[in-house]
Structure 1
């Protein structure tokens, strides 16, 4: 049996059975990042790999590749409420890579680090058959303020920090040659090429002890909800999904379901959070103060099912779908950076 037969997530499950866990870990295996105690703080560590064939869409510049590698790592750190501090990157370049292109990638790494307040400390460089950017980001958060995936409780409100669907739309445009008006196309391609990590939102929710659980949504909204459900032992009733009007129009024009684009697209790098209902108003105001928005999408239930209950639609279960490395994919499929080994 090969990894292609079982897929990435089964491979990760195998790894968990083979690794001796750190007994003082602040976060368990399976969370967005690793957490280890450091005095009164927790050092949050995340590592993510970007590979040219699966993670770099057509038209993406080397500068954007470098910056995206930063966003991938930062997003998981801030999902735990930590302030990003430092990063290291190991770079693998094919022999034919030009010096200018390599330099642009490193400029993108440095620019992304400065954008999110990290310092790029260095790393390793090697020759590879494909472009590889493997990063590790480090952040700090008070030990009592770490937000795990496992704290959601029945009655909590589930919310997201932004709308969903632009990246799925962007990949349809890039990989399947689907059309869109120029303004909508620019919005979708910007979401693909220059994603944003929701750093301020994650930190303020942590500092004010407002979130019971949190996850980065880069593997897709549906998959993120299932991960919180699994680790918290709860379910969801989802009664609203924020999809921009441009995504809805694009879906209508191409006979697509906008909910499919929003639920299963991936790479939005939004935060999916659960908030105790008594803290909801404070959470909305706190996120607004730092320039963000919380969109309420449903409630946490004791029943472990994940149900989509939208007006004028039949109730249905939310499937645990998303891109998975090693699985046989269509040539048009394009994946996020993969499930983390944490």
Structure 2
């Protein structure tokens, strides 16, 4: 008799792999990319275009810090999904949300969540088009975002080649630094706090990058930069050499973490919640990518046997470990 295996004992990514193996046994020719292999599923809808679809579930206790107001809860619930749509280079075309509230939830609280959700959808150029409401012991919001992209511009996690440049939009570690400050009652400016409470989906940047033709693979960094690098390395059978001095760290983070410079690198690599884009670019197309949006080049793609390493400011080479934000006990 097999002993029961708790989901907390297997971890998020292995569980996703096991479930995806069950779901991917079908043979629907309209499904171009199925469950578990990318940020979104991809559906064939015409000769030129495809649709990308993603869903994410968020909970009061684990995903919404106490400092987050209801408008920010709504914004976050939409933003995490639109970030996945962005990572495929797609244009958002709709958002659905299933929300569970306790029976005594104040009506104004629900309305403010919906306003934040709607504002995020509008920011991304689309609308909330439906969903479901039910009672639940804990505030739970499941969002589903839809996007559309030309097949020739679809970006996926696969395609990195040795010699490509490794790039990110925005900054690394800001959300993690803000969460650390909240948990330790450290006063920080709103410019840093908002990186955690009101993340910006990089939809516009992603669509421009997709049109540039410069990107060879892309995903978002919601689980942290290091975890995302390992995901791309496994899928593409490559390694990465990352330059510590090139990691883009927000000025306010540097001011707030002054005693240990190594902590800045830890925050940049191993904390999640930034919802930036991590992507690789052909060296000969770097200028095209830079013309598409603001980006930071943080390293390059190397051979698989080299591994995933960090070139430190002091000349030392360190291994970037597989760790970051994970659920289900990892």
**TM-score band, normalised by shorter chain:** over 0.9
Shift of 1:286: 1.8
What is the root-mean-square deviation of aligned Cα atoms in Å?
1.5
Shift of 1:168: 1.2
In structure 2, the partner of 1:310 is 312
In structure 2, the partner of 1:103 is 111
Structure 2 residue runs without a partner (length 5+): none
In structure 2, the partner of 1:264 is 270
Deviations 1:97-150 (A, max 9, x none): 111101111111111111111111111110111111101110100012111101
In structure 1, the partner of 2:99 is 91
In structure 1, the partner of 2:209 is 205
Deviations 1:31-84 (A, max 9, x none): 111111110101010111111111000210111100111110100001100000
> CA 1:255–1:216 in 2, change beyond 3 Å: closer, same or farther?
closer
CA contact (8 A) 2:59 2:141 kept: yes
Shift of 1:326: 1.8
SS at match of 2:97: strand
- Count of residue pairs the alignment pairs up: 319
Corresponding residue to 1:4 among 4, 8, 12: 8
Structure 1 residue runs without a partner (length 5+): 288-292, 329-342
The TM-score with structure 2 as length reference comes to 0.93
CA contact (8 A) 1:160 1:294 kept: yes
CA distance in 1, matches of 2:45, 2:327: 34
SS at match of 1:45: strand
What is the correspondence of 1:166-315 to structure 2 with a 5 Å cutoff? 166-177=174-185, 179-180=186-187, 184-239=188-243, 240-253=246-259, 257-287=263-293, 293-304=294-305, 305-315=307-317
In structure 2, the partner of 1:339 is none
Shift of 1:259: 0.5
Matched, 1:53 2:61: yes
SS at match of 1:191: helix
CA contact (8 A) 2:30 2:45 kept: no
SS at match of 1:155: coil
In structure 2, the partner of 1:33 is 40
CA distance in 2, matches of 1:285, 1:134: 35
Matched, 1:325 2:320: no
From the two aligned structures, give the one with the greater strand fraction: 2
